[in-house]
A and B are shown apart, each in its own frame.
Chain A
Amino acid sequence: MILSVRDLSIGFRRIGGDLPAVDKISFDVREGETFVIIGESGSGKSLTGMSIAGLQPATSVTSGSIRFKERELLNRPDAELRRMRGREIGLIYQDPLGSLNPVWPVGDQIAEALRAHGLASGAAAARRAVEMLDRVRIPDPARVATAYPHEISGGMRQRAMIAMALIAGPSLLIADEPTTALDVTIKAQMLELLAELQREMALTIILITHDMGVVAEVADRILVMYAGRVAEIGDADAIMRTPSHPYTAALMTSAMISEAEPKQQLNAIVGVAPGLGSFPDGCHFHPRCPLAQDDCRSFVPPLRRLGDVALACHHPVGSDTALMAEA
């Protein structure tokens, strides 16, 4: 187990009580796997991912435990986490243009990750940045290294971000919606590249996405998050084959619809995900759930095992066909 998260809660401080954004979630990530966290915006998935590297907003309060390679990371001093970021945990983000500094050349920003950890300096660091650009399959890496972020394409920028995240040799890569800003062909290339680098560098990848298509492509295991809580977690194939949580099932359906008719996207789930501070009582999903019953409205479903997966649902899909028909 490379990473163990236990009862992680993240809230935002407000006058009159903290707003919970992530509510006591627990999961393990195994060495070498691709662990996908999927959820809609506002589900707390990115916040969870960022908190692993201690990059959650300064205004948030966290509790619980995040153990990475047997070391506790949660609420450690920033100076301590700093030594680990880039060196042991690499990160890539949703918006590569905004995530790169506009006023410094790309190569310099990549080399910086080496310099930050004293792994190389000056010309040696610059040379290794060019090598790394080559490793992420960027043509003419020497030219791209001297270019500014606005001078290269979106796909190249994300490749450069990957180079930056991996140059100092981390064993865990947290990829926060890395393909969202990219078009479909580039997206496929990017996932392929990540898979290749994972093999070459023995990486563990935590991939955060809202895109079921991405999940099907790369996931070993999945964590489905809804409104700050775990809905379902477990083996990717098992979940994709027979989703047990009504929310997962709805996500799968919407993914299928959007594949067939791209404009129909997300219509499969009625209503919208609740915003921060307006999470309902009981199961957070109940207002949108076709299978919801009285107990869903009042009691938080505990996470329980069901074959290869664990899920938090009082009335999983397929458990009660009579009720389903009625709904």
Chain B
Amino acid sequence: MVNFLLKRFAWGILVLLLVAVITFFLSRVVPADPAAFLAGQNASEATVQKIRAEYGLDRPLTEQFVSYMVGLSKGDLGQSIRTRRSVSTDLAQYLPATLELLLVSFTIYLIASFSLAVTAARHPGGFVDGAIRLLTMVGTGIPVFWLGMALQFMFFYKLHWLPIGARFPIRETAPPVVTGFLIIDSMLAGSPSALLGTLKHLALPALTIVINLLAVGTRLSRAALIQEQSRLYVRTARGKGLGPRVILYKHVLRNALSPILTATTMQFGYMISWVILVEVIFDWPGIGLYAYQSFQVFDYSPVIALAIVSTAGFVLINLLMDILYPIIDPRVQSVGS
């Protein structure tokens, strides 16, 4: 098992390296000049040249690549031209906001898709099943940007129930930064009002992400549950006198978990890509918004770093699944070892 995980880990590193190489060259292929952006419209050629030299943009591509990879191997993600800080510093500031949004959304998504799938699978083809299918499909059919704006219009502008923009009420003092996760920080500060403010700000962006993922997640989980319900061991379970509840929660569910986990991994991948859009719509100060702003001025280093970070997130979640599979299904372990 340990051997297997080490192999997977090494594989993950290789994937990250590849992503770094690919994004490096892709970003350089784009005919854009970040130095010109930075210098501004009225800057002289000399100023632009000076900035180019400062960031090493005047050197040959191979030389830039080597020096970037050397830096990367030491954990140096480069400098941001736009913020004039190291990318690592920027990430340390923005990453917690994104992680908090992702984790909250993911948790809600898991609970919601799972309970909807269980409810739908109880009577496949029934009214409840149909209603759940219709609602989740509508939710997923709506584009993220439109859904985000519609939710803002509804809950912020019309109903005044929920705030939009940023992570925390602007007139209140945020709790001291300990973890960067405002939910945890406000709990550490022992401030219920800070916690409430944080949750209110999280509500709409999280809802937008969840609604968009729900249909696919619910349908995949539902299909897995229904397929397992037709297995022979279910007849055996009925044959010994077990009731539908025990059969569903003890026998069917655990068997359905493996395909559900696989689907969940893919959904997490989608979630990472949605988060950029959602952060822009909700002005959420995370790495998604940071990425968007960096893209706009062709700020190379942050863009590459973000590609690496989001890939790392995906690799990590896959690694986690590899650990979970054999725990859920004992047959997997004997294949792996």
Contacts and interface: CB of A to CB of B under 8 A. Distances in A.
Nearest to B236: A99
A287 B54 CA distance: 94
Interface in A60-88: 79, 82-87
Contacts of B232: 93, 95, 98-99
A164 interface: yes
Contacts of A117: 241
Interface in B232-282: 232-233, 235-243, 246, 250-251, 254-255
B233 A112 contact: no
B259 to A, nearest CB: 13
Interface in A99-118: 99-104, 109, 112-113, 116-117
B58 interface: no
Contact of B237 (A53, A101, A165): A101
Interface centre among B235, B240, B331 (most CB of A within 10 A): B240
A148 interface: yes
A53 B251 CA distance: 20
A7 B243 CA distance: 29
A103 B254 contact: yes
B239 A98 contact: no
B330 A103 contact: yes
Interface string B40-72: 000000000000000000000000000000000
B240 A112 contact: yes
A79 B245 CA distance: 12
Interface in B286-337: 328-331, 334
Contacts of B240: 85-86, 90-91, 112-113, 116, 164-165, 168
A85 B243 CA distance: 11
A49 to B, nearest CB: 11
Given A103-B328, A148-B331, A150-B334, A87 B241 contact: yes
B255 A101 contact: yes
A85 B241 contact: yes
Interface of B is mostly: helix
B231 interface: yes
A53 B239 CA distance: 7
A102 B331 contact: yes
Interface residues of A, number: 33
A100 B231 CA distance: 10
B241 A116 contact: yes
Interface in B62-120: none
B230 to A, nearest CB: 10
B242 A112 contact: yes
A161 B235 CA distance: 13
A313 B236 CA distance: 37
Contacts of B231: 98
A116 B233 contact: no
A111 B242 CA distance: 12
A55 interface: yes
Interface in A140-155: 148, 150-151
Contacts of B246: 112, 116
Contact of A86 (B233, B235, B239, B328): B239
B239 A55 contact: yes
Contacts of A90: 239-240
B236 A100 contact: yes
A100 B236 CA distance: 7
Nearest to A147: B330
Contacts of B243: 79, 82, 116
B239 A83 contact: no
A261 to B, nearest CB: 33
A165 B236 CA distance: 9
Interface of A: 50, 53, 55, 79, 82-87, 90-91, 93, 95, 98-104, 109, 112-113, 116-117, 148, 150-151, 161, 164-165, 168
13 contacts: A82-B242, A83-B241, A85-B238, A85-B241, A98-B231, A101-B237, A102-B329, A102-B330, A102-B331, A104-B251, A116-B246, A150-B331, A168-B241
Given A104-B254, A112-B246, 4 more contacts: A103-B329, A104-B251, A112-B242, A116-B241
